[in-house]
């Protein structure tokens, strides 16, 4: 650990109401006073991110930036990246697109960030992706699986996804159900935006004939889903596939119990964390469903997995994340969670991109580096990245798992594919990826 003074990772948790005045060229590759790129000095790199630190989407998602922070502090204390420490500015948008525009404006004009890293949410990030690209600001590893972060590099050249997109997740889910539950009457429970649309698009490639009902919800709207569950019940649905955030997973379970609807459930990875959903069920029912019972309700539910989580403590990546979290968590009582692992995993990829870029860092050079070298990046992902000049989409695959006693048990090997009619194939090429001895990308 360095003894010299260092600039610590800075996490600013502020919801601002700054004006949305246009900043013509504000984020273009203009040099700062010392001749380096905006947000970059000889000793630091400043990045930003928007997350729902408050509001209905905060459970789980608000933990992601603490994972980033912990890993960046670990890297900074071990020499930084090419002699630079990483500073992180995080601002609260409460999962509201209007707020996302405001806080992003602040980060560009006031904080003068070099890049946006890990900004969260499909409806929220959509509000700022054009601004970031127009201003030439790297928009890296968006915390969402929407296709819009990677399937059009010509239209959004600065934006990159990170996790598997919802279309390929829908494909993997659809194929599994078709092969293993060919007689199931399928109902889709979808968030009414790209999250649900992309998932449905993938699932319908395999399940179009089995889908008997589709129900949608608007995030931030009604939280009573009795009508949707009643519709599933009346249509004879015996398998629900949900593309939902954790709060809406919990709400769907409460509504199903309320109307006496019983079904098998297959949730997208986004909304399937057993511990979080169990806690939400307890809080939403004011203890009528204790947290332990809520976790038990998840038993038998299916989902997907693309990075190892807290239920795999012997995995080498999880060992690294636990070590980092134990040393750098801000509150010793807080445990390592899957959301903090997600944040550290993203941070690892960003550090890997910086290392590959070299000392001469510009906004253009980091994009070029990811396009040229990103497909070979190693990390905790169960499948390789798809990064290239023609695709800015992230991790290429996942496995199907079943939740039992709060942990996941694999039902398939790792399955990789791409959008469209690309075949789904088994792939174990990432199985040999283990962290370097330092825990820092080389």
Express each pLDDT in 110-129 by its tens digit: 999 999 999 999 999 999 99
Q: What is the pLDDT of residue 298?
A: 85
Co-location of 95 and 181 in the same domain: no
Domain for residue 7, yes or no? no
Domain for residue 352, yes or no? yes
- pLDDT grade, residue 24 (50/70/90)? very low
CB 427 within 8 A of CB 439: no
> CA 280 to CA 278: how far, in whole Å?
5
Express each pLDDT in 62-78 by its tens digit: 999 999 999 999 999 99
In this structure, what are the phi and psi dihedrals at residue 122, rounded to the nearest 5 degrees?
-70, -55
Domain for residue 391, yes or no? yes
**Integer CA distances (angstroms), 65 to 18, 88, 117, 214, 259, in order:** 22, 9, 10, 34, 37
Domain for residue 265, yes or no? yes
Q: What is the pLDDT of residue 6?
A: 34
> CA 307 to CA 408: how far, in whole Å?
12
Q: At what angle do helices 316-328 and 338-357 cross, to 10 degrees?
A: 100
Average pLDDT of 357-385?
A: 97
Co-location of 48 and 150 in the same domain: yes
Tokens representing 89 are 């500015």
Co-location of 136 and 222 in the same domain: no
pTM listed for this prediction: 0.90
Domain stops at, among 267, 288, 305: 305
Q: What is the pLDDT of residue 283?
A: 86
Q: What is the pLDDT of residue 104?
A: 98
- pLDDT grade, residue 233 (50/70/90)? very high
Domain for residue 263, yes or no? yes
**Integer CA distances (angstroms), 308 to 140, 273, 434, in order:** 22, 12, 12
Residue with tokens 């395999």, as numbered in its chain? 206
Co-location of 95 and 123 in the same domain: yes
Residue numbers of the domain that contains 154: 44-164+311-395
Average pLDDT of 97-108?
A: 98
Co-location of 292 and 173 in the same domain: yes
> CA 11 to CA 8: how far, in whole Å?
9
Domain for residue 137, yes or no? yes
Give the number of other Cβ atoms within 10 Å of residue 18's Cβ.
Answer: 14
Average pLDDT of 144-171?
A: 97
Q: What is the pLDDT of residue 17?
A: 33
> CA 340 to CA 321: how far, in whole Å?
9
Express each pLDDT in 173-213 by its tens digit: 999 999 999 999 999 999 999 999 999 999 999 999 999 99
> Nearest to residue 369, comparing CAs of 92, 81, 128, 143?
81
- pLDDT grade, residue 3 (50/70/90)? very low
Domain stops at, among 243, 275, 305: 305
Q: What is the pLDDT of residue 331?
A: 67
Average pLDDT of 334-351?
A: 97
Express each pLDDT in 243-279 by its tens digit: 999 999 999 999 999 999 999 999 999 999 988 998 8
Co-location of 215 and 287 in the same domain: yes
Co-location of 297 and 182 in the same domain: yes
Q: Is the pLDDT of residue 18 over 90?
A: no
Co-location of 282 and 369 in the same domain: no
Q: What is the pLDDT of residue 290?
A: 79
CB 66 within 8 A of CB 329: yes
Co-location of 180 and 291 in the same domain: yes
> CA 169 to CA 190: how far, in whole Å?
14
Tokens representing 113 are 């960030």
Express each pLDDT in 37-48 by its tens digit: 899 999 999 999
Q: What is the 3-state secondary structure (H, E, C) of the chain?
A: CCCCCCCCCCCCCCCCCCCCCCCCCCCCCCECCCCCECCECCCEEEEEEEECCCCCCHHHHCCHHHHHHHHHHHHHHCCCECCEEEEEEEEECCCCHHHHHHHHHHHHHCCCCCEEECCECHHHHHCCHHHHHHCCCCEECCECCCHHHCCCCCCCCCECCCCCCHHHHHHHHHHHHHHHCCCCCEEEEEECCHHHHHHHHHHHHHHCCCEEEEEEECCCCCCCCHHHHHHHHHCCCCEEEEECCHHHHHHHHHHHHHHCCCCEEEECHHHCCHHHHHHHHHHHCCCCCCHHHHHHHCCCCEEEECCCCCCCCCCHHHHHHHHHHHHHCCCCCCCCCHHHHHHHHHHHHHHHHHHHHCCCCCHHHHHHHHHHHHHHCCCCCCCCECCCCCCCCCECEEEEEEEECCEEEECCCCEECCCCCCCCEECCCCCCCCCCCCCCCC
Domain for residue 149, yes or no? yes
> CA 64 to CA 82: how far, in whole Å?
25
Q: Is the pLDDT of residue 406 over 90?
A: no
> CA 400 to CA 412: how far, in whole Å?
5
Q: What is the pLDDT of residue 86?
A: 98
- What is the count of structural domains for the chain? 2
Q: Is the pLDDT of residue 30 over 80?
A: no
Tokens representing 342 are 């997600």
Give the CATH number of the domain where residue 189 resides: 3.40.50.2300
Domain for residue 25, yes or no? no
- pLDDT grade, residue 11 (50/70/90)? very low
Average pLDDT of 12-33?
A: 40
> CA 27 to CA 31: how far, in whole Å?
10
Express each pLDDT in 200-211 by its tens digit: 999 999 999 999
CB 399 within 8 A of CB 304: yes
Give the gyration radius of the chain's Cα atoms. 21
Co-location of 123 and 156 in the same domain: yes
**Integer CA distances (angstroms), 315 to 64, 311, 414, 434, in order:** 20, 9, 16, 9
Co-location of 115 and 160 in the same domain: yes
Q: What is the pLDDT of residue 10?
A: 42
Co-location of 175 and 150 in the same domain: no
Domain stops at, among 305, 322, 348: 305
**Mean pLDDT rounded to a whole number for the chain:** 91
Q: What is the pLDDT of residue 26?
A: 39
Q: Is the pLDDT of residue 407 over 70?
A: yes
The percent of residues above 90 in pLDDT, for the chain, comes to 81
> Nearest to residue 399, comparing CAs of 309, 307, 314?
307
């Amino acid at each position: 650990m360095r003894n010299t003074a260092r600039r610590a990772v800075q996490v600013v948790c502020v919801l601002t109401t700054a004006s949305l005045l246009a900043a013509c060229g504000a984020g273009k590759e203009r040099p700062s006073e010392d001749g380096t790129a905006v947000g970059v000095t000889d000793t630091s790199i400043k990045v930003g991110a928007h997350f729902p630190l408050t509001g209905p989407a905060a459970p789980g998602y608000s933990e992601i930036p603490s994972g980033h922070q912990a890993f960046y502090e670990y890297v900074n204390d071990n020499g930084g990246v090419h002699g630079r420490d990483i500073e992180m500015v995080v601002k609260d948008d409460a999962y509201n697109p209007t707020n996302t525009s405001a806080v992003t404006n602040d980060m560009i004009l006031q904080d003068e960030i070099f890049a946006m890293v890990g900004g969260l949410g499909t409806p929220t990030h959509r509000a700022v992706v054009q601004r970031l690209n127009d201003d030439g600001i790297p928009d890296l590893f968006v915390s969402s699986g929407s296709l819009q972060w990677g399937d059009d590099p010509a239209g959004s050249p600065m934006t990159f996804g990170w996790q598997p997109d919802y279309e390929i997740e829908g494909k993997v889910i659809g194929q599994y159900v078709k092969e293993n539950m060919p007689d199931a009457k399928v109902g889709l429970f979808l968030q009414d935006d790209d999250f649900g649309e992309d998932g449905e698009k993938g699932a319908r490639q395999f399940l179009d004939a089995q889908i008997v009902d589709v129900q949608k919800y608007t995030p931030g709207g009604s939280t009573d889903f009795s009508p949707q569950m009643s519709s599933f019940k009346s249509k004879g649905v015996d398998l629900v596939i949900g593309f939902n955030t954790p709060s809406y997973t919990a709400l769907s379970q409460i509504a199903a119990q309320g109307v006496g609807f019983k079904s098998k459930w297959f949730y997208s990875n986004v909304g399937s964390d057993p511990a979080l959903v169990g806690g939400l069920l307890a809080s939403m029912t004011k203890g009528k469903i204790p947290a332990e019972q809520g976790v038990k309700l998840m038993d038998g539910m299916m989902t997907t997995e693309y990075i190892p989580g807290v239920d795999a403590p012997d995995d080498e990546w999880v060992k690294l994340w636990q070590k980092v979290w134990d040393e750098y968590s801000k509150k010793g009582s807080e445990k390592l969670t899957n959301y903090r692992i997600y944040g550290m995993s993203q941070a690892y990829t960003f550090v890997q991109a910086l290392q590959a870029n070299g000392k001469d860092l510009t906004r253009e050079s980091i994009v070029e580096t990811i396009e040229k070298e990103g497909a070979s990046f190693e990390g905790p992902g169960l499948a390789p990245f798809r990064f290239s000049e023609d695709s800015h989409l992230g991790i290429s695959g996942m496995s199907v798992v079943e939740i039992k006693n709060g942990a996941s048990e694999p039902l398939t090997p790792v399955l990789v594919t791409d959008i469209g009619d690309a075949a789904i194939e088994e792939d174990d090429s990432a199985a040999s990826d283990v962290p370097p001895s330092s825990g820092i990308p080389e």
